[in-house]
Structure 1
Amino acid sequence: MGKDPKTLRSARWFAPDDLRSFGHRSRLMQLGYAEEEFRDKPVIGILNTWSELNSCHGHFRERAFDVKRGVAQAGGFAVELPSLSVDESFTKPTSMLYRNMLAMETEETIRSHPLDGVVLMGGCDKTTPGLVMGAISAGVPMIYLPAGPMLRGHYAGRILGSGSDAWKYWDERRAGNITDDEWLGLQGGIARSAGTCMTMGTASTMTAIADAMGLTLPGASSIPAVDSGHQRMSSACGRRIVEMVNEELTPDRIITPGSCRNAAIVAMATGCSTNAVVHLIAMARRAGVPMTLDELDALGRTTPLIANVRPSGKDYLMEDFFYAGGLRALMKQMEDRLDISCLTVTGRTLGENLQGAEVFNDDVIRPLSNPVYHEGSLAVLRGNLCPQGAVMKPAACDPRFHVHEGPALVFDSYPEMKQAVEDETLDITPDHVMVLRNAGPLGGPGFPEWGMLPIPKALIRQGHRDMLRISDARMSGTSYGACVLHVAPESFVGGPLALLRTGDTIRLDLPNRRLDMLVDEAEIAARRAVWQPPEPRFERGWGYMFSRHVTQADEGCDFDFLQSDFGRTAGEPDIF
């Protein structure tokens, strides 16, 4: 039975017999809609992050029509609203600078328009957390529609993984092992369709997190972007959001400590991107769930990695993962580790959604008894270099670096580092620890994906393809290697990384989760006494707001004034 039309949020705009509502109705009629098309119906906003500069969302123009079809079938009225398309490839200096802008835009778009429920269309890395964070704060019923991964890459008989193989073959190019024609062929073959990276990068990680959290239709995150099943899923999202409005199924009933924990466990089991740490903490805290780095590390220690998908896995891509049963099958494998009583957007529990799921290829989705890696995807480090934490992806690097001690080679900027690694005479050994600082949330600016520092050409020529690298930056979820990231507090605000000097010895002890500079405390104190803070990166605009309100990596990099515990919730003012 439908919700009483008089109690719909949109009724405040359209139902009264007064001058303002007359204006609202007349403007919809100006757009060509008859009053019977929208009067007394749930109004569903389709927040679409389509853009001609976001190849991951290249199919979203058509998918919005699929959603509208579903909304109409269920008796709702759909309106499409453009949302900031935070694409990963073209947005500079980094898309992370604008995740919170998308979150703010999403929240304010919902709050300021006559929307009873929303379908959030995203997928490229920052669009999932940005849309979800904003919708959580707005509080109306919402369902997430993931873009889905692109098809496998192909070139010269090789299967390519977007991102991961770009880094791999770029090193070979720098070593002189790739010709111009081969490089051009790789460029054209690595990304062959609309959709997000088909490795388990940040995009697939974050849509899997939304799925495990109960915000998508069951298994929706695994469907390839160009599969016809993706169109059917999109129309099903349209039908379901109308039902959710009628059921008053709001985000606060779905996003709970249990569902956030489920999302973290599933992320670890998939071989997730290191970026998951920042976004998951931010999403959870928007819902009032105080998730921490230590909680994530504890889950990482006990959750085996069972998705054999690059880059943490060795052999397969997201298309293979879908054919093997997808995320529902993976969650079914570890059902006893999850809180299956959690409510989802279907109106059913997670356990009910997993009924009938099965694995069709147990090399792609491994049983718990035969994991890709015995622990989860991520590890959180502490020590005098990172008192508020740092993150590493153990399964994606050479195990010989899990315990390592070596001299630091410190770079204060990305251009300085980039110039040095191309110098074939650089005085460096495989035991050195490359360090990049001033690349965090404030220093980058915006927390760019610079953390996978290139292997110096001097070492590439010798056949080396990995070494220990440390930064206060992030790295792409498609990246790999012995990279320690998200060092907090960042060097730009005076974190210990700012006090490190070239030649200092650094020790990484992954089993004991330690990262330290082996420098006397008195010497560290002396360096701190003479340290001078750098000039602010921004003096106006969005960057100015970002610089004054963004939190550090361990707190999710949300704005302090947007978190659930900041100030009071005023609700919607009576402006009618």
Structure 2
Amino acid sequence: MRSKEVLKKPEFSMQRAAYKSMGYSDDDLSRPIIGIANSWNTIVPGHFNLRLVSEFVKRGIYRGGGTAVEFGVIAACDGVAQGHDGMHYILPSRELIANDIEVMAQAHRLDGLVLLGSCDKIVPGMLMAAARLDIPAIIVPGGPMLGGIEFDERKADLTSVSEALGMMSAGKISEEEYYNLEDVACPGCGSCAFFGTANTMCSLAEAFGMTLPGGALTPATYAERLRIAQESGIAICELVKKNISARKIINKASLENAIRVCMATGGSTNAALHLPAIAYEAGLSLDVLEMFDSLSRTTPQIAKVNPASKWDMEAFYMAGGIPRVMENLGDLINRDALTCTGRTVAENLASYRYHYPEDKRVIRDLSDPFNATGGLAILHGNLAPDGAVCKPGAMDPSVWHFKGKAMVFDDEESADKAILDGKVGPGTVVVIRYEGPKGGPGMREMYNAMKYLYGRGLALSTALVTDGRFSGTNNGCFVGHISPEAAEGGPLAIVKDGDEITIDVEKRELTLHVSDEEIKRRLAQWKRPEPKVKTGYLALYSKLASSASKGAIFKF
């Protein structure tokens, strides 16, 4: 065991004394030392319950024969960070999380890790750390929150409040209705009740085999969440005993499973940012965006959850969640892939017990899909030579082919203001640039812009393209992750007001209707802008972050 490198008698008695100063016994120090990387805090709803979840993980670790040692991990909330400078820090926090876990695990020679997290950049950062360290590890999510009051023909959630702001600005609801929604949209803690990036990445952690079956989507307030936590504590001790490390689980086969599940469920576009980063940390030399593209063409969408339908995460869980999706995908899933149970996907599915009956309004059979192809699509063209990402699973088919005239903005705030002021009309392609990993810096979500377009009734008559990214809850017609980004001299930098742009989902094309000669002429005249931030972590991030098409990983 790694921990014995620093706890062996007599030469490491000083380290043993340090542990004993906190009450650990000789018996404790003879067991595997299991780190609990806990992102609990009282800022982020998805992490509010993790202190209690951690106590049940500890019970499991002790029952499994290990000794638990706990440390904190930062966790920032995308929801709280929306619409202001705080969003610049959200994606960059992913690298900090991975680095912090690496430091704690290596400095203290931990034998295994239980990673507690629920939200957008925390779970990807934890998976990156596990893959980088290649020691036994398990992800334990905190679980989704329950839906709120009925609003706009579905249970309300956090994004309902943003959509309602657009409705109020358009005179569709009163100010009193708007402020009442603030009190009843989110009835309790958990990762948001829609299938955004948080719940997508928890689901993909389960598809990878890094979370116990059913562990991704059991709601935060269910007692089953605590039982899963305890079982995870037992399971990590078994992984340590059997020397099943993270890279034995995170490999090409499980990566394909994760992408298949993402396509089959219409997961967040941000998955196309995080899975390349996880693959990189696992030492997999793969073109992950190309895998997204090829697998999307052969993976039907068999689940539809908010924002693609009215069904929330509780309904998705009750319909069978990720086990049901993987079971229904049949031979499209690599069933011999190893998982954190120590068993294969096939063995896990054969023994899984569903608590609720099937609901084919939410999860269908492979023979009767919602869409013949996957929920995400990778687009290429003269506006995105290295690729861009859209989400047909959350787009009305009427906007799968959209042609309009560009209205260009060099930041999110000016676009948001124009939309709320009624300056954006039907037939417009809103272009928001200089919001990529380097240019932003930090690749902010263009969440508000899409929600305001929806609230003002423009979701089916406008489009939005950006080198930034989107929340997993966005719908309408949108394309993000345009690479190369504008700050790196990508073609997005030279788009002008009035230029025509076509989005063609079925052909996987994103086209700027400007001649090649004119594009070259404009690019020759373009000048790289000054960095927006010149000090602190964001300045460092801007220098080190790679293209979105490569997962925005650090390149040294």
Give TM-score scaled by structure 1 length: 0.91
Change (3 A) 1:521 1:233: same
Matched AA of 1:28: Y
Aligned equivalents of 2:452, 2:133: Cα separation in 1: 47
The 5 A counterparts of 1:498-537 are: 498-537=493-532
Deviation (angstroms), 1:156: 7.3
The residue that corresponds to 1:481 in the other structure is: 476
SS of equivalent residue, structure 2 residue 459: coil
Which moves more between the two structures, 44-53 or 181-190? 181-190
SS of equivalent residue, structure 2 residue 79: coil
Give TM-score scaled by structure 2 length: 0.94
The residue that corresponds to 1:565 in the other structure is: none
SS of equivalent residue, structure 1 residue 93: helix
SS of equivalent residue, structure 2 residue 260: helix
The residue that corresponds to 2:289 in the other structure is: 293
The residue that corresponds to 2:13 in the other structure is: 22
The 5 A counterparts of 1:276-287 are: 276-287=271-282
Aligned equivalents of 2:447, 2:359: Cα separation in 1: 34
Change (3 A) 1:161 1:331: farther
Aligned equivalents of 2:241, 2:495: Cα separation in 1: 58
Contact 1:93 1:445 (C-alpha < 8 Å) held by counterparts: no
The residue that corresponds to 1:52 in the other structure is: 42
Aligned equivalents of 1:222, 1:478: Cα separation in 2: 16
Deviation (angstroms), 1:22: 1.8
The residue that corresponds to 1:309 in the other structure is: 305
The residue that corresponds to 1:136 in the other structure is: 131
Deviation (angstroms), 1:451: 5.6
Deviation track 1:335-384 (CA, whole Å, cap 9, x = no partner) reads: 21111010111111011001155662222211122222222111111011
Deviation track 1:2-37 (CA, whole Å, cap 9, x = no partner) reads: xxxxxx11111111302xx2221112221122222x
Deviation (angstroms), 1:293: 1.3
Change (3 A) 1:34 1:40: closer
SS of equivalent residue, structure 1 residue 110: helix
The residue that corresponds to 1:399 in the other structure is: 397
Matched AA of 2:43: L
The residue that corresponds to 2:206 in the other structure is: 211
Among 370, 373, 389, the alignment partner of 2:387 is 389
Aligned equivalents of 2:455, 2:254: Cα separation in 1: 44
Which moves more between the two structures, 320-329 or 163-172? 163-172
Aligned equivalents of 2:162, 2:533: Cα separation in 1: 31
Aligned equivalents of 1:324, 1:169: Cα separation in 2: 29
The residue that corresponds to 1:9 in the other structure is: 2
Contact 1:391 1:487 (C-alpha < 8 Å) held by counterparts: yes
SS of equivalent residue, structure 2 residue 80: coil
SS of equivalent residue, structure 2 residue 402: strand
Aligned equivalents of 1:134, 1:371: Cα separation in 2: 35
Aligned equivalents of 1:555, 1:456: Cα separation in 2: 30
Which moves more between the two structures, 348-357 or 88-97? 88-97
The residue that corresponds to 1:449 in the other structure is: 445
Q: May I ask how many residue pairs the two structures share in their alignment? A: 546
Aligned equivalents of 2:287, 2:224: Cα separation in 1: 34
Deviation (angstroms), 1:93: 2.8
The residue that corresponds to 2:406 in the other structure is: 408
Which moves more between the two structures, 428-437 or 550-559? 428-437
The residue that corresponds to 1:571 in the other structure is: none
The 5 A counterparts of 1:61-210 are: 61-91=51-81, 92-94=86-88, 95-155=90-150, 159-210=154-205
Contact 1:420 1:456 (C-alpha < 8 Å) held by counterparts: no
Contact 2:112 2:136 (C-alpha < 8 Å) held by counterparts: yes
SS of equivalent residue, structure 1 residue 90: helix
Aligned equivalents of 2:394, 2:209: Cα separation in 1: 28
In angstroms, what is the RMSD of aligned CA positions? 1.9
Gaps of 5+ in 1: 1-7, 562-576
- Asked if 1:363 corresponds to 2:354, the answer is no
Which moves more between the two structures, 356-365 or 179-188? 356-365
Deviation track 1:46-105 (CA, whole Å, cap 9, x = no partner) reads: 000011111111101111111111111111110111011132233413411211111111
Q: Report percent identity of matched pairs.
A: 36
- Asked if 1:40 corresponds to 2:30, the answer is yes
Change (3 A) 1:445 1:338: same
Deviation (angstroms), 1:161: 4.1
SS of equivalent residue, structure 1 residue 524: helix
- Asked if 1:464 corresponds to 2:458, the answer is yes
Aligned equivalents of 1:16, 1:32: Cα separation in 2: 18
Gaps of 5+ in 2: none
